[in-house]
Amino acid sequence: MHSNWSLLCRLTDPVQAGILQGVLEAHDIPVILLDKRDTSYLHLLPGEIEVYVPPLWSSLAAGLMSRALMN
């Protein structure tokens, strides 16, 4: 990942990752999802999806994330 992006979180649920991406993009926050799951072994090792945002947006993105992924 480029040094101008910050890791916001790691998720194992692709639905949550998609929801978070949608919320961030709705607030005009650039987002990159890096899927590190191995599709051959999803049933054994779920893996992670890393969510990256530019460092200037990290604080706002973290607040939006906590509201978007509340259970």
Instruction: List, for residues 44-54, the tens digit of each pLDDT value.
Output: 666 789 999 99
Report which residue type is found at 61.
A
Which one, of 37, 32, 30, lies nearest residue 14 by Cα?
A: 37
Domains of the chain: 6-68 (3.30.70.1530)
Q: Residue 67 — pLDDT band, cuts 50, 70, 90?
A: confident
Specify the pLDDT at position 44: 64
Count of CB atoms within 10 A of residue 11's CB? 20
Burial class (CB in 10 A: 0-12, 13-18, 19+), 17: buried
- Looking at residue 28, its pLDDT comes to 96
pLDDT bucket at 7, cuts 50 / 70 / 90: very high
For residue 38, pLDDT over 70 is answered with: no
User: What is residue 41's predicted lDDT score, i.e. its pLDDT?
Assistant: 62
Q: Which residues contact 52 (CB under 8 A, 6 or more apart)?
A: 1, 5, 6, 7, 8, 31, 32, 33, 34
